[in-house]
Chain A
Amino acid sequence: MAKSTIYAGLEIGTSKICVVIGEAKRDGTIKILGVGTAPSRGVRKGEIIDFAKVQTCLNDALVRAEEPSDVMIRTVFLGVSGGHIESMNSRGAYRLPEDQSEITEDDVEEAKEIARNIPISQDNVFLHSVTRQYIVDGQEAVRNPIGREGRILEADYHIIHGLRGRVQNAVKCVREIPLEVEDVVFTAIAAAQVVLNRDAKAQGSLMIDIGGGTADYVLYEDGMIAASGCVPLGGDHITQDIAMALQIPHQRAEDVKVTEGSCLFDDIPPDEMLRIEDDNGFVLGEIERAFLNEVIYLRTREILEQVKVRCQEHIGRLAAGVYLTGGTSLMKGIDVVAQDVFERKVTRAGSAPVSGVTATFENPQFSAPIGLIRYAQILDQEKPFMSPLKRLGRKMADLLSVIIL
């Protein structure tokens, strides 16, 4: 394929629904053509609870993305998240037949099959199975084993799975728009594609995408994905904590969080007050700024600690440190808290290597949807990842589009 391809990434988040249209060029760069966001309703903790509301918001976002880019979207890469998503590493060993010493593609497939044959609950579905590395006769870190001589081939896999029902519901919700879902991607995996560069992955890094409802994380070690998952806590929880602590409506709490909120309360004099106003500008009351910040601090710290607990065993090997992204990573002082929790270098990052509509790609809020486009691009480059059926489908679609044109 000589021409560049246009992809659309869709993330149905807890706070916003975001559609990003991007052009993946042959040289590996991405040009963002359009971004459409709409505040999200009917999503809690990354999971859709109200189809109708979500679909209305999704239509808004879609129109906003399509207009400037002048592209009609038919298929999207859908980012999913939620507390039900889990991951594990699995290794499958395959011994080559006696009369064969060179590893062929079939052997690799066989090893993959064994690695993927892990006991997940029947209600779960595989989202991703990412090859971490191949091991030939105990020799680690083999990228491409085909053609090598060996006796035993092992495939190391990182497998991400989630509840079938919930994943299908998200897909169903999008299909009713109607949009075809090209692939379902765990948002953290997508975001990591644009937040972490090759060096960061190689040195070992942890990316945490703290969004509205969930904190999704991916941990890389030696360039390989080592852990990933989702903590069902996010900015929404911070807002709720504020709302309940100050006894103010949720929306007001959200405004206070965004405009005034900070995780740092040590240096704030105890008598510094903050005025809370309602929509008409009437003063509802005054609160201590230190109190507000402490509430935020406690929750933020807890979110980070929950992530830490889940990848405790890898924390010591993060040379490149922790990367924070997602809307909540804009919170003032969150880097200090993260530094405190992880005792590693902390970087706040948006997505880096893209061009196009400005002001979006730097914003950490859009890491995941932009990452979806990058993911689509990678998927396209690494052809072996695609099943023959999909490849055929793609070819057919291409043919059809030519005919239509």
Chain B
Amino acid sequence: MTAPVTARPPAPRPGAARPAGYALLSAGPASFLVHRRSAAVTGVLALLLAAACLAYLCLGETTASPAGAVRAAFGLPSDDAFVVGVLRLPRMVVGLLVGVAFGIAGGLIQTVARNPLASPDVIGISQGASAVTVGAMTFGVTSYAVLPYVSIAGGLAAAALVYVFAWRGGLQAARFVLIGIGFAVALRSLTQLFLTEGDHLIAQQAQVWTTGSLNGRGWGEAATLGWTLLALLPAVLWAARAQRRVALDDDTATALGTGLGHTRLGLVLLGVVLASVATGVAGPVDFVALLAPQIARRLTRTAQIPLLCAALTGALIVVAGDLLARTLFSPTELPVGVLTAAVGAPYLMWLIVQDRGVVRRTGGKA
């Protein structure tokens, strides 16, 4: 019994049914729908990021020529081999990776909470990672190969605490944010406590670390962070797909029969791990996780937070921020966290004044 071939509906012309604003890319059997504007934004962001990186390598106490900087970056002999290749390049790579991690982390957690305010640096996750890391430092763990993993433990613990205490027959976003802010304050005090307890020298190192700084970071930190990110890449790819389902509100999701609980948990866990590992390397670089996804979403004008754009934006913020932090008051360096907070805090205020993301959405379940 074979179905007559003619009974099949005619195959749709390629591109006929695609939604507005999308382009169809096909390569052999695989085909993708690509949001045109997102693709364009991604391209522009990548270009900007490349420009920022070049500027990062060239500018500073000693200025290198662009050509020399590029040669040095690729390990070719150059006059600026030491300054660019040994001092600036590893630090820049760490900055890039930290920005990427914070950008994706913020994007994931904000998606699940459907609230821009639920970013890891507002609700205590970064602070938890900091507190535990500083604690470990004062007890003699100073290797940057180990610290990021300690931070992950701290971030997860903080997230779990906030979650448990905010849970009361359901998760109300307003309560979640309030309790998160409370924990953030307490955990910051705990960090202070460790700072006053620890050895003098370590305390000084930890003090700089607590504002979020890339100063003195090298290939060791870059490797730790890079390998972690690479290991998490499959999870991030999964998240990029899963994100779409999670954005549905509870009722729709239930009606469609997709269980969201596990997906949400997975996305949040991934976000927490990413934010914590970045915190472990560079300290809590405030507000990158808040800003990057929001900027990315406004640029692409999509309903979803575009993760790739968020990652690029995060990297751009950190690299450009650190460039400013190094050169603004040269020869004195500011921690990059000071600059990102100076930009991020007013943005948070603006969000509150707008009264949109805060009020309308906190009615829903996080």
Q: Do A and B associate with each other? A: no
